[in-house]
Amino acid sequence: MLSFYLVLVSLLLLEPFSVARHSFSSNREQSDQSRASEDLVANLPGQPVVNFKHYAGYVTVNENNGRRLFYWLYESPSLPDEKPLVLWLNGGPGCSSIGYGATQEIGPFLVDSDESSLTVNPYSWNKEANLLFLESPIGVGFSYSNTSTDYANLGDDFAANDAYAFLHEWFLKYPSYRTRAFYIAGESYAGKYVPELAEIIVDRNKDPSLFIDLRGILLGNPETSDVQDWQGMVDYAWSHAVISDETHRTIIASCDFNSNDTWSNQDCSQAVNELLKQYKEIDIYSLYTSVCIDSLTGSDDNSTPVFKTTSKMMPRIMAGYDPCLDDYAKSYYNRLDVQKALHVSSGHHLRDWRICNMSVFNGWSDSKESVLPIYQKLIAAGIRIWVYSGDTDGRVPVLSTRYSISTLSLPITREWRPWYHQKQVGGWVQEYEGLTFATFRGAGHAVPTFKPSESLAFFSSFLSGASLPFKR
């Protein structure tokens, strides 16, 4: 079966994974609290005054190889000791959760267009939960390894295992969160990261010493199942007048997305090339907003993905009402004073930060064709699954998600209907046994960037397990 992202040249052996069974003694917890205080962020350049604490720094997930993952924790401004912990992951693979999720979508600080100051996000999700952003895997953002061979092993299993190791080490650093209600959220290729990590947690929770109180997962415009993702992408491009009737008919007639040899069919390859060519003219992640002209004409940023006809697709480039948000983030996080405040750099060494690392993307060695079997496993384990889709995204369009969910044949518990926010239709929603699917009307790939108020209300409903409002 075709991989949506990867042509595997060879299978790489991932290193064995284990988590030490830590004894959470009071002495250990006291010393770990002091470790956490060292990561307190103070004097972040351009930061407005806020009434919550935030922490940033590194957690070592492999001592021998020097593998370290960068995190940023924002406490909730109200009742942080009582609210749940939510881990947010962005995808790519190779794109930064700091640059996207924290800076452009759901975090409390948004980088201004002057690239030097921060604005408070009035719709930050830390109003409802403590937010933990992780740059994963190594090679993404500020995360790294001192062992070069680690980068040759990057793939889904590698990322999930390192993220799991990160959590247990992070809980040692922040022991007050160890028994907190825990959720995992993410978008795009994190549609694979999130359920894969959740599966490891469910499996290893059988050992009480490793227990993590995972309650649910939240997935936005998620990569889910390669076959359905491709089919949805093609049908969406045609139904939204991006490609011609002729191109659509050629793809339908010649492309077998269930095949391991899809691209050997020349008619299929040429037709998909035509689809990608048309999407190069606009923002595939947001059909109806402008592109960043400065980036198109003057940037030599080698992290900018390039379209090509293989089974690979590119990570998100730009989205949002301001299409140059990525540029602002890149400039801000490559400042030495910012990196010092985030405990990334000391002295005069500047670490190169990219919003997407194409070396990670191009070297990805392992991608599951479908995470739908994991959905079934998590539902059986009682894990809440909510999936949402901005309906103006062409990259992982709403059709792809609907096609994927339909293959599960889950019993419907509440029929398709509009949901409302501030007396307006926010989108449409359908509830199944164990899964809720909702659309966001007029939102692109990074839904909270387009619909911040609606997204915060949606997030609140997810945490409470309550149905979305169905009356004005």
Residue ranges of domains in the chain, CATH in brackets: 18-225+327-472 (3.40.50.1820)
pLDDT at 12: 28
Q: How far apart are CA 197 and CA 69, in angstroms?
A: 15
pLDDT at 21: 32
Q: How far apart are CA 55 and CA 133, in angstroms?
A: 10
- Determine which one of 391, 445, 455, 461 is catalytic: 445
pLDDT at 217: 98
* Residue range 438-465, pLDDT digits in tens: 999 999 999 999 999 999 999 999 999 9
- Determine which one of 124, 136, 143, 188 is catalytic: 188
Rg (CA), the chain: 21
Phi and psi angles of residue 223, each rounded to the nearest 5 degrees, phi first: -60, 125
| CB-based contacts of 229, cutoff 8 Å, min separation 6 | 4, 223, 396, 400, 404
Give the pairing of strands 412-421 and 384-390: unpaired
The set of long-range contacts for 255-264, using a CB threshold of 8 Å and a minimum separation of 24, is 255/230, 257/2, 257/226, 257/227, 257/230, 257/231, 258/1, 258/2, 258/227, 259/1, 259/2, 260/1, 260/2, 262/2, 262/311, 263/309, 263/310, 263/311
The list of the chain residues with pLDDT below 50 reads 1-32, 297-320
- Determine which one of 136, 156, 393, 461 is catalytic: 393
Helices (H), 187-324: 190-204, 226-239, 245-254, 266-279, 293-298
Helix (H) or strand (E) holding 421: strand 412-421
Q: Do residues 247 and 233 lie in contact, with contact meaning Cβ atoms separated by under 8 Å?
A: no
pLDDT at 323: 66
Nearest to 414 by CA among 471, 469, 472, 467: 467
Q: How far apart are CA 169 and CA 330, in angstroms?
A: 29
pLDDT at 4: 46
pLDDT at 327: 82
81 has catalytic annotation: no
Q: Do residues 4 and 229 lie in contact, with contact meaning Cβ atoms separated by under 8 Å?
A: yes
294 has catalytic annotation: no
393 has catalytic annotation: yes
